Structure 1
Amino acid sequence: MKTSKLFILSFLFLSCMSFKSSFQTDKNTLFPRLQSYSDGLASNFETIDKERKEKLKEIGDYITKIKQKQNNDSETIDFTIICTHNSRRSHLGQVWLQIAAYYYGIDGIQTFSGGTEATAFNPRAVAALQRAGVKLEKTTAFEGDENPVYSMSVGKSYSKTVMFSKKYTHKQNPKKDFAAIMVCSDADKNCPLVLGADARFAIPFEDPKVSDGTPSETQTYDERCKQIGTEFFFVMDYVKKQLYQNKN
């Protein structure tokens, strides 16, 4: 009897360990350095003030409402992150909102970015993301391109993303049934109506450009990268909790 009971307990223990290991393997599909950085973002929510959290929850409520109405996980929820030049903050927002969805297992989230005008994906923002563990490779075929194209990868199990500066109306971006997130005050002011968007949110961040060419340049870009990552991770953490509560 004791032997049988011990066998059952051992089986249950090993089963639980196997499930835990499977869960962790599924979660740890980001590149290792990016996974570690992401774990840090997920434990950094105390740096977001109360008023800011309420604004971020509005994005979370938008996602939760749609997810609850969807019939299957193949349906997508599209976001276009917008700032004036699609150079720094909008690209950072596109990357971190997508990674946050992967990290928390929120299926069907697709992120894009654009500006009210096109310039270039700023190399300082590129470098900040690379320091965080995101793989960004320039794919432009010739030197001197004023608006180079990058290939972004966050893990072997995820598709690569093509990134470059463009207007938010660019053919690569969704044309309807998407949410716009305005991440700079100028774009928010100059673009009060985003054509095709069924929702619009204003979450402005300070432009790291203010430190370009100064000794604090790298620090400023790293801080902005971390701030945007933290806030968009908060959004997806909130969605995850909302969906779990509604199921129970």
Structure 2
Amino acid sequence: MKKRVLFLCTHNSARSQMAQGLMNALLSENYEAFSAGTFATSINPFAIEVMKEIGIDISNQYSKNFDMYLNDEFDYVVTVCDNAKEGCPYFPGGKEQFHKKFEDPASFSGTKEEKLDKFREVRDKIKDWIVDFFRT
């Protein structure tokens, strides 16, 4: 049986969405990933673009508020930003809860290419952490 993982961040627009896509693409034999936010908005187009660059399509994912999962059970709940950790310090359906802070690429300002570079950097850090932490 696959373990269920919920990634939480503030807006469910970049970090948690990329984490969901990465886990479902790279570790789907053992895990099923979901994502949500404390104040859901929409997926950042830069997140979609940098994920597509590595062959992972998250364009069909959508931003969700964490309360839609309050009645669900998860083996792991991972907050990927400090705001989500503070806004949701305890998730009732989570067997284990972890915090792994990643920089918010959406808060970076610069040219389009500089923003994409920041999204790539954060994507790669999330990927490395997921593979290192969850690979069994």
Structure 2 length as normaliser, TM-score? Answer: 0.89
Q: In structure 2, what is the equivalent of residue 167 of structure 1?
A: 65
Fraction of identical pairs, as percent: 25
Q: Partners of 1:83 and 1:168 in 2: how far apart?
A: 9
Structure 2 residue corresponding to 1:135, chosen from 54, 57, 60 = 57
Residue aligned with 1:135, SS: coil
- Asked if residue 109 in structure 1 is aligned to residue 6 in structure 2, the reply is no
Residue aligned with 1:180, SS: strand
Structure 1 residue corresponding to 2:14, chosen from 88, 91, 94 = 88
Q: After superposition, give the CA deviation of every residue in 1:145-186 in whole Å (9 maximum; x if it has no partner).
A: xxxxx1xxxxxxxxxxxx100112326x87124310000011
Q: In structure 2, what is the equivalent of residue 222 of structure 1?
A: 120
The residue type equivalent to 2:129 in the other structure is E
2:6–2:74 CA contact under 8 A, matched in 1 = no
Structure 1 length as normaliser, TM-score? Answer: 0.50
Q: After superposition, give the CA deviation of every residue in 1:116-138 in whole Å (9 maximum; x if it has no partner).
A: 1210011111111011221344x
Q: Partners of 2:76 and 2:45 in 1: how far apart?
A: 27
Residue aligned with 2:90, SS: coil
Q: Which has the higher helix share?
A: 1
- Bigger radius of gyration: 1
- Asked if residue 204 in structure 1 is aligned to residue 101 in structure 2, the reply is yes
Residue aligned with 1:164, SS: coil
Q: In structure 2, what is the equivalent of residue 59 of structure 1?
A: none
Residue aligned with 1:91, SS: helix
Residue aligned with 2:67, SS: coil
With a CA cutoff of 8 Å and minimum separation of 6, indicate the structure with the bigger relative contact order. 2
Q: Which has the higher strand share?
A: 2
Structure 1: unaligned runs, 5 residues or longer = 1-74, 138-149, 151-162, 240-248
CA RMSD between the two structures: 1.8
1:96–1:233 CA contact under 8 A, matched in 2 = no
Q: Partners of 1:166 and 1:135 in 2: how far apart?
A: 17
Structure 2: unaligned runs, 5 residues or longer = none
Q: Partners of 1:108 and 1:117 in 2: how far apart?
A: 29
Q: After superposition, give the CA deviation of every residue in 1:21-65 in whole Å (9 maximum; x if it has no partner).
A: xxxxxxxxxxxxxxxxxxxxxxxxxxxxxxxxxxxxxxxxxxxxx
Deviation >6 Å, runs of 4+: none
Q: In structure 2, what is the equivalent of residue 178 of structure 1?
A: 75
Deviation at 1:108, TM superposition (A): 3.6
